[in-house]
Structure 1
Amino acid sequence: MAKTYMDRGDLVPDKVTIAMVRDRLSEDDAQDGFLLDGFPRNVPQAEILRDMLKDWGQALDLVLELVVDDDEVVRRLAGRRTCSQCGRIWHVEFDDKQDDLCDACGGSLFQRDDDKEETIRHRLEVYQEQTAPLVAYYADEGILVGVDATGPVEEVTQRAMEAIRPFMG
């Protein structure tokens, strides 16, 4: 059900997303800690998450904001290609792909609907309307840390790890 919304570039409805998160966080392996990626996506979800965690005697330690401009987001996502046979993901720029074949298995590469520029730009508009207010919400909570997410993966990873290190046990 969630994939249908994502393929259109829309966000998955709160009811569906919250049920998935609640189920996942109730699993045994999440009891000693967890990392959420892409959730919450709006302030009402953040409030439900806060209340859910409070009921379980937990709270968020940190919210990491990866800061990157829209054109960079489009460049990164629109360049992705997926192998039709093995599912491996390639990038037309970062992997120096000169053809439309998978170097791993020889399958043909294709661009997923949610990686097309018009879909990405729509998602960015939805982000500005619904998700961007979370920055202020978590800043007010005192748990927001922003990290510059431009540059090579290794550099962004290093900056992110440095930002979360003080919060690790």
Structure 2
Amino acid sequence: MDRTNATLTALRRILRATELHSKDVAQSVGLTPVQLRLLKFIGECECATAKSLAVQMRVSQATVTTLLDKLEARSLIDRIVYRFDRRQKMISLTPKGRIAIENAPDPIQKIFASRFEQLADWEKSMLLAAAERIASLLDADNIDAAPILATGSIVDELDAEFIDPSTHR
């Protein structure tokens, strides 16, 4: 197999790994990886707002609001009017939301990060340079992307707007 095909095969295996992980998440807790990540951000802080979550996830506030609407409809979060500023709503996990986080498999990002951190500095630099070069070859330099791995195969139409790379060209 020539190097081009070998590289494309490796990229396909990476994409497939994220797809399989997404399916595992969906089956275990019925959430997309993006929804699960948002729940985890909410669980990590006691006074979350849609704006603070959007900044943390590096997405628009409108995207976070759409995701929050879905999580609230499933009774995974509560929105409570902030007593000092009635325009603000504080977001917190419900007991059902905490259970969803506890039952979810380890995120693929966590697995990757754990293994990546064990590499020598030169190897980390080499992999980063290669990944950035691949992104450049795919004209993906200017695509807004958070460090959250997800695929569009299990998300509904509203979530797909957030994670579908074709909408960011």
Q: Structure 2-normalised TM-score?
A: 0.29
Larger relative helix fraction: 2
